[in-house]
A and B are shown apart, each in its own frame.
Chain A
Amino acid sequence: MTATALSIRNRLPTSFVNYQLDNAYDEMFSSPGTPRDHYRTLQQTLLGLPPEELRRSQQAADLAFLHEGITFTVYGSKEGTERIFPNDLLPRIIPAREWAKIEKGLTQRLTALNLFLRDIYHEGRILSDRVIPRELIYSCKHFRREMRGLNVPRDIYVNICGTDLVRLPDGNFAVLEDNLRVPSGVSYMLANRKVLKRVFPTLFRDYGVWPVDHYPRVLLATLKSLAPENCPYRHDPTTVLLTPGVSNSAYFEHTFLAQQMGIELVEGRDLLVHDNVVYMRTTSGLRRVDVIYRRVDDDFLDPICFRPNSILGVPGLFNAYRAGNVALANAIGTGVADDKAVYAYVPEIIRYYLNEDPILQNVPTFLMSDVTHRQHALENMDKMVIKAVGESGGYGMLIGPHSTHYQREEFRTRVLADPRNYIAQPTLALSSAPCLTDGEIESRHIDLRPYILMGEKVTLVPGGLTRVALRKGSLVVNSSQGGGSKDTWVLREGEVGSELLDEVREQLGALATEIGPKRIVREKAS
C-alpha cells in the first residue's frame, strides 16, 4: 500500500470504518482506501458531510417516496403489501468509456435477438442449420405457435427491454438475464434521479451526468412508430398503456409512465374488440385504439386465444393483432428469447445473425437437459445458483451457498423431474458499491439494468436501475426479495486527464473542422 493510500485511510471518518472489500469487484475502491478516479469527488463530498446530515437526507428521501406513493406490491404476504422501494442515496457512477461499451454491446445483442425472434417465427433458419436444437425452442414455455408467420411492425419483436448486467470480479460487465417480455423498474430510475438531484445538486452538476428524464418521451416516440399502416391517424395514433390493474406489483410504474407520456392507462375491461378493431370505452362513446404498450403477460392478454380464465385481457385482442389493426409492444412470444436455457445460446445467436463476436459476455450456464452439464451441476449444488428457465423476479431459484440441505434436495427432485425447465450457473460475486445503512457507509452487492428502446431507431437512456441487495452479504437484488435501488450516473466524459478525454477532444476537433468551423473558430478566438 502506498503512503497516500494509507494517509487517506487514516483520514476516513467513522462512516467508512466498516467498509469491507471481499473478492468481488468494488465499484468505488480499487484497493482498501484508494478510490477509483471517478469516485474521488464523491468520496471527498462524503468526507465533508457529517453522518447526521446523510441520515437526515436519507429520511427525507424515504418520506418523499412514501408521500408520492412510489411503492411496489409484494405478492404472497397479507400485511403491508404496499411497500416503498428502498432507495439508497449514494449514486453508482459509470465512466463514459465503460458505458460506451455497454451501449454497443446491448445494441448488438438486441439486434441479434430480434432477428432471432423473426427467424424462429418464420423460416426457422437457425433451427435448420442446427445452431440451436429445435426441441429446445418448441419445448419453451413462452414459445407461441400462434405467432408463426405473423409479421410485426418494423420486424421488431422486442421494443422495450431491460437487460440485467452484473460486473464480474475482473471488472467486465456480463449479461445475467435478458428481460424481453415486460421489464419493469424504469420509473424508479427516474424517481431516484429526481431525489438525488435534490440531495446532491452541486455534486451532480460537477460530475457532468447524462440526463435520463427524456425516457418517457423516447418511449412514446417508439410506441407511435409502431402504428399499424391502416390506422386512420398514422401521424398521431391513439396509444394506450394496458395494465393488469391496481394490485399489480408495478402499478405505480404504469400510472407514472402513462402520466409522463400523456396517454391513457387502460385495464382490460376498458377495451373491447369489434370486427377485429380494438376500442376503448370513453364517456363520449367508443374510440379506436392503435398501439398498446401492454404490461400484461402473454398468457393473460386474450382469454379466447390464451389462458381462458384471464379477466385481465381483452377477448379478441389476438385476432385484431393478427389482422394488423393494432400494434402491441412488446410483441407476443418474445419470452422464448429470454428463456434461461435459450440464454446460453445467445453468443451463438449473435455470431449466426451478425457475424460478429459478442461484445458483452454471458455468464457460464449449465443446461440441466444436458447429461454431463446436469451431472456437474448437481454434484456442485452448494456452489451453484439453480433457476427455473421461465421465471423472473427472483422467484423459483436456489442459491447454493445460502441454501439448506433440505432445499437442495428439494431442488434436486424438481430438476430431475423436469430437466428442461432448469439451468445452473456458478454463484457470481456481483460487484459491490457503497451504500448508506443507518448513517454508516458499507458495501453491498449490486447489478445494473439499463433500458433499451427499439422503434424507428435504438435508444439507450444513459443510466438505468442499479439494484442493491440490501442485506449484508446477500446476492439477491430483486425488489420482491428485499432489494433496493440507487441512482446510476453515467458521466459525459471520462476521468480528467484520461486517454478517453483526449480521444473525445480529438474527435470534437475533427467534427469542428467538418461541420461547424465558423462558430467554433470564433469561440476559440474569443
Chain B
Amino acid sequence: MSTRPPRNFFVEAFRRDAGMLSRVADSLYWMGRYLERAEHTARLVNVELQLWLDQSPEMGAGRWRFLLEALSAPVSDGPVDPTKLVNTLVFSRTNASSIVSCIASARENLRHVREQCSTHMWEQLNRVYLGVIEVKPQEEWFLKSHDFFSVVTEGAYLFHGVTDATMSHGEGWQFIQLGRYVERADTLTTLLETHFKRMTSDVERPVEGVEYLEWVGLLRDCVAFEAYCKKHTAEIRPMRVAEFLILNPEFPHSIRFSVDRVNAALHLVSDHTQRAAKLPTRIAGRLRAEISYSQIEEVFAQGVHAYLQKIRSDCTEIHDAINEIYFDYPIEAEIAS
C-alpha cells in the first residue's frame, strides 16, 4: 500500500476528527441533566422550608403535596410527615431523583468519561459530592439546612463556571449544555404546570396576602424574584409572572431561554458531527418558533395548561430524538451507508 494520502484526504481528515464516542456524549448529556435536577430540587426544597416557617400547619400540608407534584415525585394520600418527606427528596438513595442520588449519578457519569473533562471540573464535582454525602440528617438538620442547599446550588454554579472556563466549547461541552437545558425546560414546565393548576385567582390583578407568598415562592424557585422585580417591580400579577418565566428570552431560568439554548446546542452538535440530524433540530426549532412568537394573552386565552403540556411533550420528543440520532443509532444502517 502506498503511503500517499488519498485524493479526498482533506475532506476525510476533517471527517475523521468529527464526532465523539456515543457513550461519552450520552454520559455528558446525562451528567448535565442530573446536575440540573439536583440544583432545581435543592432550590425548591430550600424555598419550601423557608416558606414553611411563615405558614399555618394546614396550609403547610397542602404545600408539601404541591412540592412533590412539582418535582414529579409520587404523591401518597394521607398526612405528610415533613421530616420523612424532606429526607426522601434530599438524602434517599432509593429515590433516584433525590438530591444526593442526582449528584451521585452526575458524578458517576462524569467518572465514566473523566478523560473528556478538565481536571478542575472533576475536582469541583467531586467536592460537591463529598460535601453532600458527609451530611447525616438529624432532628435539627432542618434549621441549618440552608448551608446544605448552598453547597448544592453554589457547587453547581461553580461547576458550570469551571466548565465554561476550562473545557473546550466543542461537541462535548455542547452535550453538557444540551442535557442541562433540556432538563431545565422540562422541570420548569412541570413546576409551572403544577403551580397554575393550583392557583386559580384572577391572573391580571395583583395578588395579596397569603397568596402573595406563594407567588414569591414560585419566583424564588426559579431564582427569578429579583430579576422580576427589576422588570415589573414587587407588584405581582400572575400573568406577568407567567410571561416572565415562560416567554422571557433573557432570563436564564425561563422556558424560552432554555429552549433557545437547546436549539443552539443542537445546531452546533449537528455541525460538529457532520450529520444532517434533522429530527432533533426540527422538533427543537419548531418549539422555539412557537414560544418566541407567543403572546401571553393568547397563551391564557388558549389555556396555559394545554400550552405547557405541549412544551413538555416536545421536550420528551427532543430527548428521544437525541438518543436515537446520536447515542443509540442502529448499526446496520451505518454500515450500509
Contact = CB atoms under 8 A, between A and B. Distances in A.
Interface residues of A, number: 34
A283 B115 contact: no
Interface in A243-287: 246, 252, 254-256, 258-259, 264-267, 269-270, 272, 274, 280-287
A391 interface: no
Contact of A259 (B19, B115, B269, B326): B115
Contacts of B127: 67
A145 B108 CA distance: 39
A229 B122 CA distance: 38
Nearest to A281: B22
Contacts of B115: 254-256, 258-259, 265
B221 interface: no
Given A67-B126, A284-B272, A246 B16 contact: no
Nearest to B123: A67
A77 interface: no
Interface in A232-247: 232-235, 238, 246
A267 B334 CA distance: 20
B275 A285 contact: yes
A267 B337 CA distance: 24
A308 interface: no
A381 B22 CA distance: 54
Contacts of B119: 68
B256 to A, nearest CB: 27
Contacts of A364: none
Given A259-B115, A283-B19, A283-B269, A272 B275 contact: no
Contacts of B273: 282-285
B220 interface: no
B22 A246 contact: no
Interface string B112-140: 11111001001100110010000000000
A266 B21 CA distance: 8
A473 interface: no
A281 B122 CA distance: 25
A526 interface: no
Please indicate which of the listed interface residues A69, A235, A238, A285 has the most CB atoms of chain B within 10 Å of its own CB. Answer: A285
A286 B12 CA distance: 13
A283 B22 contact: yes
B93 interface: no
B116 to A, nearest CB: 8
Interface in A193-235: 229-230, 232-235
B1 A229 contact: yes
Contacts of A66: 130
A274 B335 contact: yes
A234 B126 CA distance: 39
A267 B275 contact: no
Contacts of B20: 264, 282-283
B62 to A, nearest CB: 42
Contact of A287 (B19, B114, B123, B329): B19
Given A69-B114, A286-B334, 5 more contacts: A67-B127, A232-B6, A264-B24, A281-B329, A282-B19
9 contacts: A67-B127, A232-B6, A233-B16, A246-B108, A282-B273, A283-B19, A283-B269, A283-B273, A286-B331
Interface of B: 1, 3, 5-6, 12-13, 15-16, 18-25, 108, 111-116, 119, 122-123, 126-127, 130, 171, 269, 272-275, 326-327, 329, 331, 334-335, 337
Interface of A: 66-69, 229-230, 232-235, 238, 246, 252, 254-256, 258-259, 264-267, 269-270, 272, 274, 280-287
**Complex A-B, nearest 10 residue pairs according to Cβ-Cβ distance, in ascending order:** A284-B19, A282-B19, A259-B115, A284-B273, A255-B114, A258-B115, A255-B115, A283-B326, A284-B18, A283-B19
